[in-house]
Amino acid sequence: MLEKREFFEKKLKDIEFALNESTIVAITDEKGIIIEVNQAFCRISQYSQEELIGQDHRILNSGYHLPTFFAGMWKTILRGKVWDGEVRNRAKDGSYYWVKTTIVPFLNDEGRPYQFISIRTDITEQKKVKEQLKESEQLLSTLIDVMPDFVCFKDAEGRWLKANDFALSLYRLQDVAYVGKTDQELLAQAEAQYCMVSDEQTWQQGQVSRVEEVVPQPHGENRTFDVIKVPVFHADGSRKGLVIVGRDITERKRAEGLNEYLAYTDPLTNLPNRRFFEEKLNEMLIQAKEKKEKLAVLYLDLDRFKYVNDILGHAMGDKILQMFSGLLLEIRGPKDFIARLGGDEFTILSPGIQDRNQVVELAKTLIQKLDQPYMIDDYELFIQTSIGISFFPDDGEDDQTIMKYADAALHRAKAEGRNKYRIYNPSIFSETKKTFAIEKELRLAVQKGEFHLHYQPKVDSKTGKISGAEALLRWNHAQWGMISPADFIPLAEDTGIIFSIGEWVMQTACRQSNAWRDQGLPIVPISINVSAKSFMHRDFVTIFKNRLEQWGTSSEQIEIEITESCLLHNPEEIEKTIQKLKAMGVKISLDDFGTGYSSLSYLKKFNMDTLKIDRSFIQDLDDPKVNTITTSIIQIAKGLNMRIVGEGVETLEQLKFLQAHQCEEIQGYLCSRPVSAEEFGKMLESEVCLL
């Protein structure tokens, strides 16, 4: 008996190991007597293992299901087949719960079941949601019939599912059996064609669209509707249905006139344009002065939008702008005014502000809403925004001043790393002027010879010998002195100056590596950091190859380091670029791993040679969670035959951890700070041990 119990316990542990801890597992004999259960089963049923083992499974019967339900179940499993279903059970305290259940029979040599294993998942909350949804649908049906707007629901094939009384009256379908029919079957030819084209455009955009629809009426009169179409998708991205709501704007259109409407509207997003915004801002400023209220201006633009636009094309850029404008409309307050100023620049005017935190929460909400991937035309895109905020009358009392300071705050947010908001203060404006000055000097830095490279050794974690180096860019301005890369690299990327800087780094690293080689010093690979923009350039491989040939540098002397941001867009082209470089014998490292957005699948897709663990992980190894993550990263890289480099190593404890986990190389102040080319050459010559 003990051996049998041990056998079942082992079997149960094996099953639990293969499933997650929330999965509910039980084993019964051929008569339904419980032999073994796991802890998840005990938790949901509120019975202990001792109370359950040896009991008939009917101990959990809630009385909800008809006898035929269980008869069908037994009929299936006694035939040796798997049974799936949803079961309502009763817990020890009398409460009910629902479980999605799969029962798998174990068969003896004669093909007869002798045991059953049931694998269950708690779906109680899902059932509650379904009931609530049913009630909501009933309420919705009642509400839409009394709405003064027309409402219509269609399925993925354009068939009508539900329309309110307003819509049926508008299209003269009160006495027509419309359910399951298409526009072609219900409407006049021209009207049906317009609706189908508009519907398809909404599906193609994959987001809320807004169109104007003219509906012909008897006796020659037309009515104009502001129509919002909301596409609904299944979890797998396939079409599910279309929600259409139309508001009669006939009188408004007559009053405004079509030309005036177009003059004040951005045609791509259907948001107010710059002209409308400027008039609205002045109007709101007058009202704020009269009411002695505060007004907030939020100035937004999309981070690296030009980069996405250049790489993926303007059609994709347009879809991103439409998606973003829809998101702004979704989160705005009831009195907020939203406009597109042009390009990727948007504004939100928030009148009647009582507390600055109202505006801060609005900015935070938008940033949080964007903190997820958006699928647009099969591309998984991470879209981010920077936001600058200014207030009337705190920061100024006229439109130009308010906008100038909001713009300055926006530039500050972008300079601090993007994807954040900043509220204007006087120091920000001076910082913005400083940024413009840096940009001007940055364009001349290469010509003036103000750039130079320092080299930080990469060290073999076992021998302590130098195994490579990372070339790090330094800018020593004639008047300002040393300028941090954090202050000028993002600016260089935004302005495109990064291309000429990258070219200089490449040439300088090649010349220096050749100089050490010609001195008879040991050849170690020099890693150069390549920006995402440079790496995505269509001629990058050709330029890199030409520079190696121009300077007589072998592919073993220069390595390329890229960050995860390179992998986010157009992965097919990235893969081709990597393949071409590797065909030349060039090694490629993935830098700052774990701090970006790329998934683990990219490690498999892109055949990298080296993975560099970001210093933020190394410095926080005392944290058990970080320790576990770092160990996992090393194991994954090992499994993919990638070389590991730990960055930012500063202590012996960090070194010992990396050594214990077979991290081949380390880099950090424990070994050496970045040094000049002359000092690095001396290190190579003396074959110094840095550990």
Last residue in a domain, options 424, 459, 493: 424
0.85 surpassed by pTM? no
Only one residue has tokens 């951005």, namely: 266
| Claim to verify: residue 396 and residue 312 sit in the same structural domain | yes
Q: And the tokens for 277?
A: 């915004």
C-alpha distances in Å from residue 530, one per residue of 88, 279, 344, 563: 59, 45, 26, 8
Position 34 scores a pLDDT of 95
Looking up residue 499, the CATH number of its domain turns out to be 3.20.20.450
Where would I find the beta strands (DSSP E) of 234-344? 239-248, 294-302, 337-342
| Claim to verify: residue 194 and residue 212 sit in the same structural domain | yes
Position 429 scores a pLDDT of 58
CA 74 to chain centre: 47
By DSSP bridging, strand 34-37 and strand 24-29 are: antiparallel
Position 412 scores a pLDDT of 82
Instruction: Tell me the mean pLDDT in the region 221-244.
Output: 90
DSSP code of residue 539: T
CA proximity to 350, closest of 333, 367, 372, 331: 333
In a domain, 131, yes or no: no
In a domain, 602, yes or no: yes
Q: What are 392-417's pLDDT values in tens digits?
A: 998 888 999 899 889 888 888 887 77
CA atoms within a 13 Å half-sphere pointing along the CA-CB vector of 170: 23
| Claim to verify: residue 247 and residue 291 sit in the same structural domain | no
Give burial (CB, 10 Å; 0-12/13-18/19+) of 627. middle
d(CA 500, CA 508): 12
| Pure H helices in 421-553 | 426-448, 485-495, 498-518, 532-536, 540-551
| Claim to verify: residue 630 and residue 505 sit in the same structural domain | yes
What is the rounded average pLDDT for all residues in the chain? 86
Decide if 592 contacts 567 (C-beta within 8 A).
Answer: no
DSSP code of residue 689: B
Position 26 scores a pLDDT of 94
SS3 268: coil
Only one residue has tokens 């829809």, namely: 326
| Claim to verify: residue 458 and residue 571 sit in the same structural domain | yes
Q: Which residues does 427 contact at the CB level (< 8 Å), separation at least 6? A: none
- 371-377, Cβ contacts within 8 angstroms, sequence gap of 24 or more: 373/597, 374/323, 375/206, 375/237, 376/206, 376/316, 376/319, 376/320, 376/323, 377/206, 377/316, 377/319
In a domain, 112, yes or no: yes
CA proximity to 243, closest of 202, 189, 183: 202
Domain that holds residue 355: 264-424
**Amino acid occupying residue 478:** A
| Claim to verify: residue 208 and residue 344 sit in the same structural domain | no
In a domain, 141, yes or no: no
Position 46 scores a pLDDT of 95
Instruction: Tell me the mean pLDDT in the region 600-611.
Output: 79
| Claim to verify: residue 273 and residue 210 sit in the same structural domain | no
Share of the chain above pLDDT 70, in %: 93
Q: How confident is the model at residue 21 (pLDDT cuts 50, 70, 90)?
A: low
The values of phi and psi at residue 514, to 5°, are: -65, -40
CA proximity to 594, closest of 558, 645, 536: 645
In a domain, 163, yes or no: yes
Geometric angle at alpha carbon 551, from 545 and 556, rounded to 5°: 65
d(CA 361, CA 542): 48
Looking up residue 281, the CATH number of its domain turns out to be 3.30.70.270
| Claim to verify: residue 119 and residue 151 sit in the same structural domain | no
| Claim to verify: residue 338 and residue 291 sit in the same structural domain | yes
| Claim to verify: residue 177 and residue 220 sit in the same structural domain | yes
Tell me how many domains the chain contains.
4
Sign of CA dihedral 537, 538, 541, 543: negative
| Claim to verify: residue 212 and residue 321 sit in the same structural domain | no
Q: What are 573-603's pLDDT values in tens digits?
A: 888 899 999 999 999 999 877 665 445 666 7
Q: What are 335-345's pLDDT values in tens digits?
A: 999 999 988 99
Last residue in a domain, options 224, 240, 261: 261
Looking up residue 176, the CATH number of its domain turns out to be 3.30.450.20
Only one residue has tokens 């690296």, namely: 304
CA proximity to 331, closest of 298, 294, 288, 380: 298
Q: How many helices (H) and strands (E) does the chain have?
A: 26, 26
In a domain, 139, yes or no: no
In a domain, 215, yes or no: yes
In a domain, 230, yes or no: yes
d(CA 628, CA 645): 17
| Claim to verify: residue 441 and residue 463 sit in the same structural domain | yes
Last residue in a domain, options 261, 290, 311: 261
Evaluate if residue 683 carries a pLDDT over 50.
yes
